[in-house]
């Protein structure tokens, strides 16, 4: 099983729609909406959030990555999500992500689909708020990594995009999702490789050469992973 | 006297009455500097608390406050839900399973409630929020309890009076938190709705003990 995700929004429609969008990119991830109040108004509900968190941890129980990442929209959704953690018996595996709801959710869902752990899923969500060209903040306790901007990369590779559509959403999701689960900091043409939206901002079409630089224990694996996907055209024509 | 479960039930019932009575006033305050839903939301939240009290009678003050926390967080909808919910929850935790609350314990519970609001909303004194009613109330309650007054009614009255004065003192403030902060200088000259509803809640606590 993968890390599960709960979406807390003031609007049931926003929560449902965001879940629908993310599920397209991450069919195996449990993503549950908690939008609106109990009686269908605009607002947030502790009961809805608690029910979603319990359902998420229940459905996601099993072997593999565990935990739940919570995405929220405006102010009081954050407060309701924080309050929900006070009511949980085991809040340890539940992390709140400080990220834009839609972009953060899609990035988190893709990372979860790729098998990333709960810290990496949150990091993927929070990474979307960072301007292109800067690496995402390291998840807690991984500051042993050299900063990609100051030290020479441990591994590099150059790969030419061969598929017709180039680096569009689905390939970006595959690249970012896989990299999020590796112990490596990766940049691709200067943007964070674990950030789906960062990769999409490259606007890289067919024939573009991707320069991959990687730091960390899984640096070699990371470069091979990107190379494999690019050379196979992401399984697309 | 001491405060018991009967007092807590009466307090919450009077809170619901106060929110219903002042619903329009709170809406008007919120219309000036917010999104005009505070009176509606607080009324709905405490009506839901009343309904819960009709279903079962809490055995301790702490149990009554915890039920209130859960209900407000689920029914209020706006930012007041998690803020008041956290306040009632932290107060309930501070009181634990005690069947009776004395002056010092109540002062402690109020401080825990205020700390919960600050932790959740990240507001400080002077930001023109409910904290500006709660902090003077906490200080006044602690002073009354420490002043050798074992009279819990005196603590309740001190807290209510300080909260009311604190709410009035938000009138000239420029909001730095919440929706009103978007208005900047234009938020001055209006009372903060959250501070006003906080004063109503702490005044109801006096009525329940009288």
Instruction: Tell me the pLDDT tens digit for each residue of A209-218.
Output: 999 999 999 9
**Chosen from A46, A48, A74, A96 to mutate, greatest number of chain B CBs within 10 A:** A46
- Same CATH topology for A4-127 and A155-235: the answer is no
Instruction: Tell me the pLDDT tens digit for each residue of A216-230.
Output: 999 999 999 999 999
Phi/psi of residue A32, nearest 5 degrees: -120, 135
CA distance linking residue B113 with residue B48, whole number of Å:
21
Kindly indicate whether the ipTM for this predicted assembly is greater than 0.95, answering yes or no.
no
Q: Are B190 and B36 in contact (CB under 8 A)?
A: no
At residue A35 the predicted structure's pLDDT band, cuts being 50, 70 and 90, is: very high
CA distance linking residue B86 with residue B89, whole number of Å:
5
Q: For residue B197, what are the domain limits?
A: 5-209
Higher-pLDDT residue of A90 and A109 is A109
Direct distance between the N- and C-terminal alpha carbons of chain B, in angstroms, rounded to an integer:
10
Phi/psi of residue A96, nearest 5 degrees: -90, 135
Residues B136, B139, B60, B81, CA torsion sign: positive
| Planar angle of CA A112, A116, A119, nearest 5 degrees | 100
At residue A135 the predicted structure's pLDDT band, cuts being 50, 70 and 90, is: low
Q: If we measure between CA atoms, which residue out of A124, A11, A131, A130 comes closest to residue A69?
A: A124
Contact B77 A37 (CB under 8 A): yes
Which of A58-62, A64-68, B157-161, B177-181 has the weakest average pLDDT?
A58-62
What distance separates the 2 farthest-apart alpha carbons in chain B? Answer: 47
**How many angstroms separate the CA of residue B158 from the nearest CA in chain A?**
29
| pLDDT at A112 (0 to 100) | 92
% of residues, chain A, pLDDT over 90: 54
Instruction: Tell me the pLDDT tens digit for each residue of A145-198.
Output: 445 557 899 999 999 999 988 888 888 888 988 888 889 999 999 998 988 878
Direct distance between the N- and C-terminal alpha carbons of chain A, in angstroms, rounded to an integer:
30
Domain locations in chain A as residue ranges: 4-127, 155-235
Contact A75 B77 (CB under 8 A): no
Contact B82 A75 (CB under 8 A): no
Angle of the A75-87 helix axis to the B61-75 helix axis, nearest 10: 140
Please identify which of the residues A10, A144, A168, A211 carries the catalytic annotation. A10
- Counting the structural domains of chain B, the total is 1
CA distances from B149 to A7, A70, A137, B155 (A): 49, 47, 53, 8
Strands (E), A79-226: 94-96, 155-160, 185-188, 191-192, 209-215
Task: Collapse the DSSP code of A131 into the 3-class scheme (helix H, G, I; strand E, B; otherwise coil) and give the result.
Answer: coil
Question: Which residues, in sequence order, are CB contacts of A181 under 8 Å at separation 6+?
Answer: A111, A114, A115, A116, A117, A120
Q: Are A174 and A230 in contact (CB under 8 A)?
A: no
Q: In CATH terms, is domain A155-235 a member of 3.40.50.300?
A: no
| pLDDT at A89 (0 to 100) | 78
- Active site annotation includes A10: yes
- The β-bridge relationship of strands A68-72 and A94-96 is parallel
Question: Is the pTM higher than 0.80?
Answer: no
Task: Collapse the DSSP code of A80 into the 3-class scheme (helix H, G, I; strand E, B; otherwise coil) and give the result.
Answer: helix
| pLDDT at A65 (0 to 100) | 56
Q: If we measure between CA atoms, which residue out of A128, A134, A127 comes closest to residue A148?
A: A134
What homologous superfamily does CATH list for A4-127? Phosphotransferase system, mannose-type IIA component (3.40.50.510)
Tell me if chain A has a CB within 8 Å of the CB of B76.
yes
Contact A46 B89 (CB under 8 A): no
Tell me if chain A has a CB within 8 Å of the CB of B176.
no
Q: Are A121 and A115 in contact (CB under 8 A)?
A: no
- Residues in chain B where the model's pLDDT stays below 70: 149
- The domain that contains B59 carries what CATH number? 1.25.40.340
**How many angstroms separate the CA of residue B17 from the nearest CA in chain A?**
22
Instruction: Tell me the pLDDT tens digit for each residue of A81-107.
Output: 999 998 887 788 999 999 999 999 999
Residue written as tokens 């929020």? B129
Within chain B, residue ranges assigned H as helices are 5-21, 23-33, 38-55, 61-75, 80-95, 103-121, 131-146, 152-169, 193-209
CA distance linking residue B133 with residue A1, whole number of Å:
48
Instruction: Search chain B and give the residue with CA nearest A74.
Output: B79
């Amino acid at each position: 099983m993968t890390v599960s995700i709960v979406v807390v929004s003031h609007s049931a429609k926003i929560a449902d729609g965001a879940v629908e969008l993310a599920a397209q990119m991450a069919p195996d991830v449990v993503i549950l909406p908690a939008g609106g109040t109990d009686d269908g108004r605009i607002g947030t509900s502790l009961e809805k959030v608690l029910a979603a968190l319990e359902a998420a941890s229940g459905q996601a129980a099993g072997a593999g990555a565990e935990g739940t990442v919570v995405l929220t929209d405006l102010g009081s959704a954050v407060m309701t999500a924080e309050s929900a953690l006070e009511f949980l018996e085991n809040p340890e595996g539940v992390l709140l992500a400080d990220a834009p709801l839609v972009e953060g959710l899609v990035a988190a869902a893709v990372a979860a689909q790729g098998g990333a752990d709960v810290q990496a899923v949150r990091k993927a969500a929070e990474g979307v708020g960072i301007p292109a060209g800067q690496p995402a903040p390291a998840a807690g306790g991984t500051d042993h990594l050299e900063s990609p901007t100051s030290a020479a990369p441990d591994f590099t590779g150059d790969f030419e995009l061969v598929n017709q559509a180039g680096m569009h959403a689905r390939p970006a999701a595959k690249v970012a999702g896989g990299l999020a689960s590796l112990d490596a900091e990766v940049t691709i043409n200067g943007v964070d490789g674990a950030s789906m939206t960062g990769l999409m901002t490259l606007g890289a079409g067919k024939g573009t050469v991707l320069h991959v630089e990687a730091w960390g224990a899984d640096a070699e694996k990371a470069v091979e992973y990107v190379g494999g996907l690019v050379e196979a055209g992401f399984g697309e024509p | 006297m001491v405060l018991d479960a009967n007092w807590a039930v009466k307090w919450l019932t009077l809170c619901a009455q106060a929110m219903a009575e002042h619903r329009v006033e709170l809406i008007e305050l919120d219309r000036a500097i917010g999104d005009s839903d505070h009176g509606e939301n607080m009324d709905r939240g405490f009506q839901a608390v009343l309904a819960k009290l009709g279903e079962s009678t809490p055995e301790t003050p702490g149990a009554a406050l915890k039920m209130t926390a859960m209900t407000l967080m689920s029914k209020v909808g706006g930012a007041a839900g998690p803020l008041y919910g956290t306040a009632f929850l932290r107060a309930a935790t501070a009181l634990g399973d005690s069947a009776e609350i004395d002056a010092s314990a109540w002062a402690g519970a109020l401080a825990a409630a205020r700390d919960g609001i600050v932790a959740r909303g990240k507001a400080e004194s002077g930001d023109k929020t409910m904290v500006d009613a709660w902090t003077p109330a906490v200080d006044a309650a602690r002073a009354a309890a420490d002043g050798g007054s074992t009279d819990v009614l005196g603590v309740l009255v001190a807290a209510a009076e300080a909260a009311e004065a604190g709410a009035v003192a938000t009138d000239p403030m420029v909001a730095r938190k919440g929706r009103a902060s978007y208005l900047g200088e234009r938020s001055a000259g209006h009372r903060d709705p959250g501070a006003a509803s906080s004063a109503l809640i702490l005044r109801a606590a006096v009525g329940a003990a009288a």
